[in-house]
Amino acid sequence: MGWHGRRPMEYSGPYFEKYQALDATQMGEALTSARVEMVRRHTEIPPVDIGIGGGRFVLESGGMGFDVNAEGVAWLKAQERYYDPYQHHAEAITCWDSLEHIPEPERLLDHVGEWVFVSMPIYKDQAHCLASKHFKPGEHCWYFTHDGLIRWFDRQGFACVEYNDMESRLGRDGITSYAFRRTHG
């Protein structure tokens, strides 16, 4: 597990538009379908999607969403799907390509009752991380190996019940997906 302390980027401007365009592609459709299927294998609880990208997962999962991008927040509120998990309890959250962006993810997990679903780049070691196209200081705060992520979640009170490379098989290099269930805390 590694942390890069560069000041986090601003998620403003055309960020939401960019991800809406990506959501509208065949890859966006395939990723959303795989993510919805993964959540539904484990729970019927509609999740709160943290960092909604373009919003497609929120709609197709029947869930709610939270974002720091002003356009994303406005879209969620217009859809009546905005939910702040830092202010309210959430039984299930999804962090598709977002957990590694959050400076203090422990604060988020403190408000989660049962499930956390994650997809993110996973590294073999520090050298692999530094050479990866996913090494993005200022955008990504956190960098994990597989074992490091599982140990970190265990310290937060969650056990890994599934992991897979479905996103990598769909064409996203080096991305692993996880389902974590609360065990204590």
Q: What is the CATH number of the domain that holds 113?
A: 3.40.50.150
**In the prediction, which pLDDT does 2 show?**
79
Tell me the helix, strand and coil percentages in the chain, rounded to 5. Answer: 35, 25, 35
84 CB-side CA count, 13 A? 5
Which tens digits make up the pLDDT trace of 30-64? Answer: 999 999 999 999 999 999 999 999 999 999 999 99
Give the count of domains, the chain: 1
**In the prediction, which pLDDT does 126 show?**
80
Q: Which residue has the higher pLDDT, 124 or 35?
A: 35
**In the prediction, which pLDDT does 56 show?**
98
**In the prediction, which pLDDT does 130 show?**
67
Percent of the chain having pLDDT more than 70? 93
Q: What is the domain range of residue 27?
A: 2-182
Average pLDDT estimate for 83-112? 95
Average pLDDT estimate for 114-118? 98
pLDDT of 3 > 80? The answer is no
Would you place residue 161 in the very low, low, confident or very high pLDDT band (cuts 50, 70, 90)?
A: very high
**In the prediction, which pLDDT does 134 show?**
66
33 CB-side CA count, 13 A? 8
CA distance linking residue 135 with residue 6, whole number of Å? 12
Q: What is the mean pLDDT of the chain?
A: 92
Average pLDDT estimate for 140-156? 92
**In the prediction, which pLDDT does 164 show?**
98
**In the prediction, which pLDDT does 114 show?**
98
